Structure 1
């Protein structure tokens, strides 16, 4: 049996500590070289390239240019093929996600009287077109459809399209189509990976070009987003899954082991750590992992072992609570669970995490599927500067200003002084006596 990686921080060198903070997509140079030709093929060949890559990369032999876009009949058939309890769970999750994001939605416009008679504020309008990327390489993810589509619909984006890899029979995961329709998105394209990012950026005969693309993906997708950042807005950095389960001495180690497997099972390129200052918790977790693996599918066992027994996961035993906080903030995780019976005692010490789920009854699984806050989150230390996907990612802000006649003279005086200091004569003229002549 593979050995779970076990790290004691008081025994780590600075180099080893830094290595624990790295993610699988830290170096994308190899992927960048490989996605370049894919992007160029889509740009120049359009649908033909998408069909070829769908067949070669996804095994979708029946895929044709005519079937790249999901038909209404395929949507209808999806509802017939998905179990009723799955549809109910999707509706439940979407209801909570919609309620959460409706609270997030900013007012269309606000104005404040900055000085008597002078007003300034913001006006929000939806982005005209956004591509929603839903991965499928290591499983089906209707939850990602829910998390990307709902805030986009709430924001009022008029042109939305989902991009997701085709199945081997040339179709799309049925639950993904169910989630799309319930969320309010009826345009779905059967393409994934770097080719999907390129199609969204350039458009093809079938695919409409988008202004922005959001959603998590493999290093192939992340590399393509970076290469095409000058063509399409790549959104927040969302790569392979990562999580830290912080556990204090108030919880069973077996519970911590159960939860550290959640994100570890996504794939071998994920990252997952149990961080604790309690040796009891660490040892109980180690002892419990084999029993948890016995209740998982073979594929997910293989994925989670690759993570927890590799370089991007395992157990981190710290020497104190403060050292646990420091590791978490240094890591800046995508998902953070504060596994404690008193999680609010720890919350104030955490500043660098995209999602913070608190207490024994709030595992990452609930956050991913049912609670409401968005589970599309920045990875690879993106939490240091980004937050979760939100309604704000689907709107743009215009500042608004309005100066009345009584307020103008004072504003003009001060603007003119600074314009003269900076050497901008036209700026100065625009608020000088020259303007007064026209206004009079």
Structure 2
């Protein structure tokens, strides 16, 4: 494996700079070619395909159609398998996440008097059924269960189901089950990857089809969501993790290196950059990385080195703060840390980031697990148009209008005028003399 990337932004060509923007989701051609066969198998074979893929792709032993859905006994057993301290941490995270998301819950209906006697507003109802995707390939993620399950329950979704890959033993990670029950989610299926997206879309004898699926996943999951977007709402684009650690001259580069590794350790398909205009910080970070790696597991070292020494990560030195801001906004990261003793001085310059964590005491770790804001975030520059997962992602909105007899004449005249201009005779008739005849009748 090569050295950690250390790049000077001003020295890069236009094409080299464009290459820095690439994510693992940028070229999905291979996945888009292979996923359709998986989707079709689930559509036509149902549970049998889920069992086959769980056995072949996840290596699950003993998985059958009868064991695809987690039982109450498995939920109960999970609480005996998870350390009480871990359960306590899950409870802390869920309490904070619930408190944050309850503030997002809109009133069931709002009406405003637009003109005297004319009212317009919004009515909010929960989506009928939503699938929550919880990945497991490079680790177990009860945190994703918390981040997806809590807002779904707060929103009042009547049918919520978690889809997560089975373990080698044909089970579900115990802490994930603990988090699901504590969040209020009762249905969990042992299915992951593209096959899970297909099951959520088409349904099987065991799986109830859903209207929407949310949650981060591998390129296989991303590809399946894209291909099935016409049949299920794929939610915000949440793929492999990515981060930018912005560090100014007020912090030590070793701290920046410590935080750079947070998202880099997720997997070789992650993206992670340290962006700074301070050469001192950049050089300190580079020097500190070996010490930080010495305190990580072998697997996570391998993952983070693949990122920082590969195409999607490293240290980027800019000539000015303004150049750093411009790069960050162009990159539109999933996670952004403003590592500074005075982070609010930089905040106003950031216009495209899904999550902004400020100051030396707010690493991505805290945001990912227990601060409260949602850590399911748009990736691959999705922050240019999407925000974090929220209660509103689980709610559908209807417009409501009510016009009284007093307000009708003025609005009818305006509507008729525009209808005639656009050539819609029935539109015009509906607010013309014919209506008056029926209203007087």
Q: Same fold (TM over 0.5)?
A: yes
1:244-302 CA distances to partner (integer Å, 9 max, x unpaired)?
00000000000000000000000000000000000000000000000000000000000
- Stretches of structure 1 that go unaligned for 5 or more consecutive residues are none
Give the match for residue 239 of structure 1.
239
Give the match for residue 129 of structure 1.
129
Shift of 1:413: 0.4
Structure-to-structure mapping, 1:104-115, within 5 angstroms: 104-115=104-115
Structure-to-structure mapping, 1:138-217, within 5 angstroms: 138-217=138-217
Give the match for residue 25 of structure 1.
25
Give the match for residue 70 of structure 1.
70
TM-score w.r.t. length of structure 2: 0.99
Report how many residues are paired: 440
Shift of 1:107: 1.1
Give the secondary-structure state (helix, strand or coil) at the position aligned to 2:103: helix
1:231-253 CA distances to partner (integer Å, 9 max, x unpaired)?
10000000000000000000000
Give the match for residue 415 of structure 1.
415
Measure, in 1, the Cα distance between the counterparts of 2:29 and 2:39. Answer: 15
Give the match for residue 389 of structure 1.
389
Give the match for residue 427 of structure 1.
427
Give the secondary-structure state (helix, strand or coil) at the position aligned to 2:230: coil
Matched, 1:292 2:282: no
Measure, in 2, the Cα distance between the counterparts of 1:426 and 1:256. Answer: 65
Give the secondary-structure state (helix, strand or coil) at the position aligned to 1:282: helix
Give the match for residue 61 of structure 1.
61
Shift of 1:10: 1.2
Give the match for residue 370 of structure 1.
370
Give the match for residue 89 of structure 1.
89
1:158-206 CA distances to partner (integer Å, 9 max, x unpaired)?
0000000000000000000000000000100000000000000000010
Measure, in 1, the Cα distance between the counterparts of 2:186 and 2:415. Answer: 50
Measure, in 1, the Cα distance between the counterparts of 2:109 and 2:321. Answer: 44
1:379-405 CA distances to partner (integer Å, 9 max, x unpaired)?
000000000000010001000000000
Give the secondary-structure state (helix, strand or coil) at the position aligned to 2:7: strand
Shift of 1:331: 0.1
Measure, in 2, the Cα distance between the counterparts of 1:271 and 1:106. Answer: 35
Shift of 1:2: 3.5
Measure, in 2, the Cα distance between the counterparts of 1:105 and 1:317. Answer: 42
Measure, in 2, the Cα distance between the counterparts of 1:24 and 1:206. Answer: 33
Shift of 1:25: 1.1
Give the match for residue 261 of structure 1.
261
Give the secondary-structure state (helix, strand or coil) at the position aligned to 1:388: coil
Measure, in 2, the Cα distance between the counterparts of 1:323 and 1:112. Answer: 45
Measure, in 1, the Cα distance between the counterparts of 2:104 and 2:266. Answer: 29
Give the secondary-structure state (helix, strand or coil) at the position aligned to 1:352: coil
Measure, in 2, the Cα distance between the counterparts of 1:235 and 1:10. Answer: 37
1:285-338 CA distances to partner (integer Å, 9 max, x unpaired)?
000000000000000000000000110000000000000000000000000000
Give the match for residue 283 of structure 1.
283
Give the secondary-structure state (helix, strand or coil) at the position aligned to 1:345: helix
Measure, in 2, the Cα distance between the counterparts of 1:398 and 1:139. Answer: 40
